[in-house]
């Protein structure tokens, strides 16, 4: 059975604003699916529909085999949700929040306490469990939010921008925890603005722009669609023309960048050693050599004509300012 099946999903807001415009997607059991797109692309609106927080205005979505409109209660029993901004009460302690979350899912008594303690220990918050959430760092809040979403051992976990605004260390800690959960069998649907997050964590990526999915596949297959890796070769003065002649044998020459010779490798990364040998045989002194793989941003540019990076660069700063 598919963990998530979506067909023609739409959501229109007042003023004929179509935030989600006919999204189709499938997520297999045990998969990590990343929904990648800039701010306002429709990621959060899609997640809110899949988690029953928002009714679709068109199309259909099944989560854990249940319709998000007609069987909303069954969907809620099967899912864990950690929403954007880590909506936590700063006046509660971590332990109180986990206990409340357990109560919301019908867990009581010793079982609820045992699960709560285990989860707090798992996310490294056992020592801080009796402190108010208001005193937690951003990373601690995200980890607490993640723990609270797991209290009832959900089949499908929804994470809406789980690392937005976090420092690299905290971000990595969340990634490791999500990957570990997935290895234990939890299906994960996450939204992100971070290329690196989608690339490292996801089995498959859906790129969304202006409410529509513009590309979908594994990170490797998406990148392979838009081009091959290329070499950026830094050279001593005067040898560029000679290097270009040597490199032509390995693939198409790309426009020069910052004085470096760029060549697309027809045979992929496996040809790097051959290029180095050929340059050496020709007596060309190489100052630097970088293998550049296509990124998901290249995919985004190819599909939409716009860069995703601008939003990504600004996201942490915006989060800190807010």
Partner 1 sequence: MNRLGVNLRVVAALGRRSVRQTFRRPQLFAPILVFPTLLLAIQTGGAGGAIELEGFPQVNGFLDFMLAGAMVQACLLAGNSGGIALAVDLEMGFTDRLFAAPISRFAIVAGRLAGTAALGAVTAVWFIAIGLIFGATIEGGVAGAILVLALVALSAMAFGGIGAAVALYAGRASVVQGLFPLVFVILFLSDAFFPANLMLEPAGTIAEYNPLSLIVDGIRELVVGGLDAGAVAEALAAIALIGGLSIALSAVALRRRLRLGA
Q: Is 191 in the site for partner 1 (CB under 8 A)?
A: no
Residues 137-176 that bind partner 1 (CB under 8 A): 148
* Span from 25-33, 68-76, 123-131, 193-201 in contact with partner 1 (CB under 8 A): 68-76
* C-beta atoms surrounding 310 within 10 Å: 11
In the complex with partner 1, the residue whose CB is nearer, 46 or 295, is 46
Q: Is 48 in the site for partner 1 (CB under 8 A)?
A: yes
Alpha carbon of residue 35 to chain centroid: 6
Structure tokens at 55: 């009714």
By residue count, the chain amounts to 322
Q: Is 51 in the site for partner 1 (CB under 8 A)?
A: yes
Q: Is 87 in the site for partner 1 (CB under 8 A)?
A: yes
Cross-sheet strand order for the sheet of 79-82: 79-82, 156-160, 187-192, 32-36, 204-209, 212-217
In the complex with partner 1, the residue whose CB is nearer, 132 or 252, is 132
Structure tokens at 31: 């998969």
List, as one string, the DSSP characters of 61-81.
Answer: EEETTEETTTTHHHHHHHEEE
Q: 184, 193, 129: which is closest to 157 by C-alpha?
A: 184
- In the complex, what is the shortest distance from the CB of residue 251 to partner 1, in angstroms, rounded to a whole number? 50
In the complex with partner 1, the residue whose CB is nearer, 76 or 115, is 76
Element holding 22 (H helix, E strand)? strand 17-28
Q: How far apart are the C-alpha atoms of 45 and 11, rounded to whole Å?
A: 8
Q: Judge whether 33 and 157 are in contact, CB under 8 Å.
A: no
* Span from 50-58, 190-198, 273-281, 294-302 in contact with partner 1 (CB under 8 A): 50-58
* Span from 81-89, 194-202, 242-250, 283-291 in contact with partner 1 (CB under 8 A): 81-89
Element holding 187 (H helix, E strand)? strand 187-192
- In the complex, what is the shortest distance from the CB of residue 15 to partner 1, in angstroms, rounded to a whole number? 13
* Span from 31-39, 71-79, 276-284, 304-312 in contact with partner 1 (CB under 8 A): 71-79
Task: Please give the residue ranges that form the binding site for partner 1 (CB under 8 A).
Answer: 48, 51-55, 73-74, 76-77, 79, 81, 83-85, 87-89, 91-92, 96, 99-101, 103-106, 108, 132, 148
């Amino acid at each position: 059975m598919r963990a998530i099946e979506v067909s023609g999903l739409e959501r229109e807001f007042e003023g004929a604003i179509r935030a989600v415009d006919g999204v189709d997607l499938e997520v297999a059991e045990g998969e990590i699916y990343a929904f990648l797109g800039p701010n306002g692309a429709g990621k959060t609106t899609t997640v809110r529909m899949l988690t029953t927080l928002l009714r679709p205005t068109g199309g259909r979505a099944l989560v854990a085999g249940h319709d998000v409109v007609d069987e909303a209660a069954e969907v809620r029993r099967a899912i864990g949700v950690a929403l954007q901004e880590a909506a936590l009460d700063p006046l509660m302690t971590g332990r109180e929040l986990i206990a409340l979350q357990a109560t919301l899912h019908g867990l009581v008594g010793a079982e609820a306490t045992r699960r709560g303690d285990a989860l707090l220990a798992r996310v490294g918050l056992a020592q801080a469990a009796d402190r108010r959430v208001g005193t937690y760092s951003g990373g601690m809040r995200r980890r607490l939010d993640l723990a609270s979403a797991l209290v009832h051992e959900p089949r499908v976990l929804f994470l809406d921008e789980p690392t937005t605004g976090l420092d690299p260390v905290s971000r990595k800690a969340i990634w490791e925890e999500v990957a570990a959960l997935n290895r234990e069998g939890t299906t994960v649907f996450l939204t992100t603005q971070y290329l690196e997050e989608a690339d490292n964590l996801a089995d498959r990526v859906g790129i969304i722009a202006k409410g529509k999915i513009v590309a979908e596949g594994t990170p490797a297959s998406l990148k392979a669609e838009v081009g091959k890796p290329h070499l950026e070769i830094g050279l001593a003065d005067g040898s560029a023309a000679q290097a270009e002649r040597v490199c032509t044998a390995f693939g198409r020459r790309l426009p020069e960048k910052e004085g470096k010779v760029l060549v697309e490798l027809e045979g992929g990364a496996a040809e790097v050693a051959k290029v180095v040998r050929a340059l050496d045989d020709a007596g060309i002194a190489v100052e630097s050599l970088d293998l550049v793989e296509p990124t998901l941003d290249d995919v985004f540019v190819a599909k939409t004509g716009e860069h995703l990076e601008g939003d990504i660069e600004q996201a942490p700063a915006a989060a800190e300012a807010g």
